[in-house]
Chains A and B, each alone.
Chain A
């Protein structure tokens, strides 16, 4: 441990009140995985406290234990200075703990009012509870500026408002300690700012906020104190004012971050893929893509930045043939794809388009299948799998062994189910499968999500090598650092539109951040509207 701080010492500076939350020696294992290894945590009352760490560092587990979703194997919890046994969410709620989960816990077809009252209905008959909740919503709206229409059906509301409903729900249940698990993942920077204002308002009212995030910027901006987790352990407790981003980053990762894959310069070739004016409507007619146009040239990487949920996933779906083209067209070589000449992933693979999907668990792999079966997913009609209409286990085995050796996938057991591999090795298996046929176009979504540092450099190097070999690559990532490290050109998506494009050399973080937020980027020399280039 880098900074073994006794709880008393840490809270001294704030006040002599007992801390709102005091965890000691919390340990939790899932099977062979130690999610929390004797974790200590002290959160002074009336502060915003951040817990930061990489994916899988154990942040969510700590708060799940605090909220009674899991019970710790050992360790003790004190709330407001009193020992507490929390075995389920009801215990937590009773002690004034509220939680806003990463995935909202809202009943989509209920109204705001029904959702807020669920679990605190004020007696058996709804009539009375409804009136009381309505009054309470009004009060909370006045006090904290949390304004929502109580009769709106939740599924029709934007995400930012749904999150507000979650907070109202917790407050309605009398929460004085509010846990927020990765709350900003679905918000634009602008929504995030407003959200932080709400948090500051809550703090002013004496509410203690526990903010779980992996974004350093947010910690620096809004928290009073911060605890850093790495591989299930608490590695440091800091006052935010006394630390720096660099220090926290180092604590999180355990060594200096080198997110610089040496970029290889390649002279770009001819246009490999062109999308023209793609517009795409999802369920219930909501426009997910608006007039998206882009060009991919051989030997370059186009990075697509944006807050998740702004149309990147839909764009990948349409370009890879999973979703049909509705309006506009895609041109690959002399094949023109529009709504009259539809395509499918199988045809596109034939045209040399490889697709590394954003979600490897859902799409990229069939988890219960053996690795050797997964190694031909999407290519099962190709030459590596057997003869004629038949599938040969021996061919699958040989093919998989080759991939495992070349891409250093471990364990090197082609018969192991995909579910048995680590995240990094699963991702390498997907990458290997897609790179091996030497595609001329690659669509890559979130290539390093949930992958360890070593795996990240490996995967980045492979992407770079494909580019060097003349492949045209579209890289979609929510990690701006990743986009910056790999791309030659960067396009930014917001609300289904490409709102701007720049070359890597002219790009700067602040400008791209504004564009991700939907704030127009005109006036900056390096950034131009996408319409001009199309």
Chain B
């Protein structure tokens, strides 16, 4: 395999990791605030559908993105209404959102387009196209760096770059700002926040809004950047892999990014290796590679490499106590 082959695998890994990164950051910020978010999958799916549908109807990928964010935030707010305002069971609410999204996207898609649950294929203008970063031309001839810049770093769609920027942004927000300090506190010990005169409810809602925005962008990436339209169940479990990556990265932004890239790399490698036998082990069925992230997460959760300690107040609604 050549250097270029490697670059192409990494390039593909980055694209495959993009929705994972965005959703995992969404999960991270929500769970750091103490709200379990297994509804990532549903928000991702809803975002994907709305982005494609609105892009088709308006002809603008950006309108699609905004709509995706809006629909995903809407689902986040349902989650908040159930779990924060009414102190409902967070896991049940998450499952409800996933099922709701998987039903509603098809129902709405059939009602709008009558294409058996798909949206029409999007034109070039209705999608996010790859953008060439400046100085790509200038660097082309430099060995190693030139191809690296051209194949791996430049030439991605906007959501890919948003995903990459979201990681330092979330890190900065959590560890360098007042909002982050309070958010982490509310996920550990909400009573401390309440007695400091800060609203637990509003903090948690804000965390969910941010999570909704990130999932919406991830959805838009799936249907209007990576793909060219919505197909039913197009999230295909990516929300759950993101959840796995978030746990795998122990709720820390940089580690979570690494986990997402690893999982993306596994998938990209598997796609590329399909059908080609490897030395010693022979041909590896793609199914085996695809379940590796889940297996790795289970092993991590079992405490066989390091302990993953979730935020202390995760999953428990806040009730004032006497």
B181 touches A118 (CB 8 A): yes
A136 within 8 A of partner (CB): no
A125 touches B194 (CB 8 A): no
Chain A residues, Cβ within 8 Å of B199: 88
Chain A residues, Cβ within 8 Å of B322: 60-61, 64
Contacts known (A60-B322, A126-B178); A108 close to B188, Cβ less than 8 A: yes
For chain A, residues 83 to 102, give those with C-beta under 8 angstroms from any C-beta of chain B. 88-94, 99, 101
Contacts known (A69-B320, A108-B188, A109-B188); A93 close to B178, Cβ less than 8 A: no
Interface residues on B, range: 20 to 34
* Alpha-carbon separation in the docked complex, A118 to B181 (Å): 7
Residue in A70, A103, A115 whose Cβ sees the most chain B Cβ within 10 Å: A115
A119 within 8 A of partner (CB): yes
B198 touches A90 (CB 8 A): yes
Q: How many residues of A contact B (CB 8 A)?
A: 38
A126 touches B197 (CB 8 A): no
Q: Which residue of B lies closest to A70 (CB)?
A: B320
For chain B, residues 152 to 210, give those with C-beta under 8 angstroms from any C-beta of chain A. 175-182, 184-185, 188-189, 191-199
Tell me what chain B mostly uses at the interface: helix, strand, loop, or mixed: helix
B312 within 8 A of partner (CB): yes
A118 touches B176 (CB 8 A): no
* Alpha-carbon separation in the docked complex, A463 to B194 (Å): 43
B189 touches A124 (CB 8 A): no
A129 touches B197 (CB 8 A): no
A99 touches B179 (CB 8 A): no
> Which of A64, A108, A118 is within 8 Å of B196, CB to CB?
A118
A101 touches B197 (CB 8 A): no
Contacts known (A121-B178, A124-B178, A124-B179); A108 close to B189, Cβ less than 8 A: yes
* Alpha-carbon separation in the docked complex, A106 to B191 (Å): 8
B192 touches A126 (CB 8 A): no
Chain A residues, Cβ within 8 Å of B198: 90, 119
> Which of B179, B189, B197 is within 8 Å of A107, CB to CB?
B189
Minimum distance in angstroms from A162 CB to a CB of chain B: 12
A119 touches B193 (CB 8 A): yes
Minimum distance in angstroms from B303 CB to a CB of chain A: 15
Contacts known (A60-B322, A88-B197, A121-B181); A115 close to B176, Cβ less than 8 A: no
B181 touches A126 (CB 8 A): yes
Contacts known (A121-B178, A125-B176); A89 close to B196, Cβ less than 8 A: yes
* Alpha-carbon separation in the docked complex, A88 to B201 (Å): 13
Contacts known (A89-B197, A105-B192); A118 close to B185, Cβ less than 8 A: yes
Chain B residues, Cβ within 8 Å of A64: 322
Seen from chain B, the residues whose Cβ lies within 8 Å of a Cβ on chain A are: 175-182, 184-185, 188-189, 191-199, 312, 320, 322
Can you give 17 contacting A-B residue pairs, CB < 8 Å?
A68-B197, A69-B194, A69-B320, A90-B198, A91-B197, A99-B195, A105-B189, A105-B191, A107-B185, A107-B192, A108-B189, A110-B188, A117-B181, A118-B181, A125-B176, A125-B177, A126-B176
Seen from chain A, the residues whose Cβ lies within 8 Å of a Cβ on chain B are: 60-61, 64, 67-70, 88-94, 99, 101, 103, 105-110, 114-115, 117-121, 123-127, 129, 169, 173
Instruction: For the A-B complex with A67-B195, A108-B188, A118-B182 known, give 7 more contacts whose Cβ atoms are closer than 8 Å.
Output: A89-B197, A99-B195, A101-B191, A105-B196, A118-B181, A123-B178, A126-B175
| Shortest 5 CB-CB contacts between residues of A and residues of B | A119-B196, A90-B197, A89-B197, A121-B178, A105-B192
